[in-house]
Amino acid sequence: MDPSIEQAKLPVMADVSSIPKGYLVTQIAAGTLQDREGAAMAALQGGRTDDSALSRDLVHHSVSAPAARVFRLLSMHPGPDAPTAAVAVMAGLSVSEAHGTLASLSRAHVVEPVPDSRERWRMPDLVRAQAQRLSDEHAAADGREQAMDRLLCYYQATTEAADGWLRGLPPIPVEQNFTDRDGALAWLDAERDSLIAAARMAFGAGRDQAAKSLPLLMSYYLNFRRLFAELLAVATVGLDAARRLGDRAAEGESLNNRGAALIGLKRYDEALAVYEDAAALFRELGDRRAEGETLNNRGAALIGLRRYDEALAVYEDAVALFRELRDPHEEGASLNNVGIILHALRQNDEARAACQKAVAIFRDTGDRHGLAMALGNLGNVSRSLGHAVEAAEIYQEAADIFRVTGDHSREIAALESVIAVRAAL
Residue 397: its pLDDT value, please? Answer: 96
At 299, the amino acid letter reads G
Pair type for strands 112-114 and 117-122: antiparallel
**Containing domain of residue 24, as a range?**
3-142
Residue 408: its pLDDT value, please? Answer: 86
To the nearest 10 degrees (0 to 180), the angle between helices 144-167 and 84-91 is: 140
Query: From the CA atom positions of the chain, what is the Rg in Å?
Result: 27
In a domain, 11, yes or no: yes
Cβ–Cβ under 8 Å, residues 305 and 268: yes
d(CA 154, CA 230): 21
Task: Give me the mean pLDDT over the 38-54 stretch.
Answer: 39
In a domain, 425, yes or no: no
Residue 19: its pLDDT value, please? Answer: 30
Task: Give me the mean pLDDT over the 268-290 stretch.
Answer: 96
Task: Give me the mean pLDDT over the 15-24 stretch.
Answer: 30
Residue 420: its pLDDT value, please? Answer: 94
Task: Give me the mean pLDDT over the 293-307 stretch.
Answer: 93
The three-state DSSP-derived secondary structure of 231-297 is: HHHHHHHHHHHHHHHCCHHHHHHHHHHHHHHHHHCCCHHHHHHHHHHHHHHHHHHCCHHHHHHHHHH
- pLDDT band with cut points at 50, 70 and 90 for residue 406: confident
Q: What is the pLDDT of residues 331-389, one digit of tens each?
A: 999 999 999 999 999 999 999 999 999 999 999 998 888 999 999 999 999 999 999 99
E-strand spans in 56-207? Answer: 82-83, 112-114, 117-122
Helix, coil or strand: residue 109: coil
- pLDDT band with cut points at 50, 70 and 90 for residue 409: confident
In a domain, 188, yes or no: no
Cβ–Cβ under 8 Å, residues 59 and 37: no
In a domain, 409, yes or no: no
Residue 70: its pLDDT value, please? Answer: 95
Task: Give me the mean pLDDT over the 212-226 stretch.
Answer: 96
Query: In CATH, what number is assigned to the domain containing residue 70?
Result: 1.10.10.10
In a domain, 24, yes or no: yes
In a domain, 391, yes or no: no
Residue 62: its pLDDT value, please? Answer: 66
Q: DSSP per residue over 177-191, as a string? A: ---SHHHHHHHHHHH
Total domains in the fold of the chain:
1
Residue 370: its pLDDT value, please? Answer: 92
In a domain, 214, yes or no: no
Q: Is the pLDDT of residue 201 over 60?
A: yes
Q: Is the pLDDT of residue 11 over 70?
A: no
- pLDDT band with cut points at 50, 70 and 90 for residue 35: very low
In a domain, 239, yes or no: no
